Amino acid sequence: MHVTILLGGDSAERDISLQSGHSVANALESRGHQVTCIDPKDISFDSFSWPQCDVVFIALHGEFGEDGQIQKILDRAGLCYTGSHATASGFAFHKSQAKEIFEQQNIPTPASYLFDRNTPFEQIAEWAMQLNYPLFIKPEAQGSSIGISCVNDSDELLHAIKYCLKFDSSGLIQKAVIGTEWTVGIFDDTVFPLIQIRFQNRFYDHCAKYKDEATTFLLDEAVSPQIQQELISAAKKAYQAFGARGVARVDLILDQTDKAWVLELNTIPGMTDHSLIPKAAQKMGWSFPQLCENICLAAIK
């Protein structure tokens, strides 16, 4: 195959995207495919002449990768690309829109309210009282836990809001569900092995994801068939609710009553050799190069 890989960009997740893209490039080249890497930060798509290729592998994380913008450009150019279409990507990336879809489809998701720079603090504080602490404050459209705070009381609320609004013009105040953190990878009709995430920090923040060596990922955690089915069923409903395609990752919390709560759907999950989707695929028997190749073949098909 001739594969064009989009990587880097200028979102807050640029560094992770570069790691993903270069990992994918090395993997595909090891399988004998021809690869061209393009960083959107270096070009103007208004006058860009796309190279001849069989498929575009999108390894862009964050804004202009997961939010549907690049997918619309590729659609206009008539190019085949990996992952979900523009509409699914846009809805999944914007947390309040994703919440609406989850609620419409009766998919359990933590209660939340949307605020922006003009929302009075008194209103947000009132919502906090309604939801009860602990809470999460999250940017509306960021990934990799960027800009997120866990708030345990009213004294921490204002600082968390200001921190969130450094990364976006709006955000969510969301009820914290107490339980264990899980992720489920889905690739069209294939469900990858479940992964339980354990971490030392207050929550699974950016540091815990990418830097803290104390974070562990359990792929063979012994849970009952009922719990497995609860997590897989919720993940599949979330994937189907958006009309997602290709590889996506659904992040969930399993509460103390063994009920699964969907946090979000990630339509362009990390693709470094340390990322969760490659770990789950490897558990199923797919090497990282095989996974990358299968993603391209599925997009072409």
Annotated active-site residue in 84, 112, 144, 275 = 144
Q: Does the annotation count 270 as an active-site position?
A: yes
Burial of 201 (0-12, 13-18, 19+ CB in 10 A): middle
13 is known as an active-site residue:
yes
Asked about 17 being catalytic, the answer comes back as no
Active site residue 65: no
Q: Determine which one of 67, 205, 251, 293 is catalytic.
A: 251
Between the alpha carbon of residue 295 and those of residues 29, 54, 55, 265, 291, the distances in Å are: 14, 12, 10, 18, 6
Name the DSSP letter for residue 219: S
The answer to whether residue 273 is catalytic is no
Of 21, 68, 171, 270, which is the active-site residue?
A: 270
Q: Tokens standing for 133?
A: 């602490």
Q: Which residue among 171, 266, 275, 293 is the active-site one?
A: 266
Of 17, 67, 168, 249, which is the active-site residue? 249
Instruction: Provide Rg for the chain, Cα atoms.
Output: 19
Catalytic residue among 8, 9, 11, 13: 13
221 labelled catalytic: no
Q: How far apart are CA 237 and CA 147, in angstroms?
A: 27
Helix, strand, coil percent values for the chain (each to nearest 5): 35, 25, 40
CA–CA gap between residue 274 and residue 212 (Å, rounded)? 13
Whole-angstrom Cα distance, residue 63 to residue 66? 6
Q: Decide if 113 is catalytic.
A: no
Active site residue 210: yes
Catalytic residue among 66, 67, 140, 264: 264
Residues acting as catalytic residues:
13, 144, 210, 249, 251, 264, 266, 270
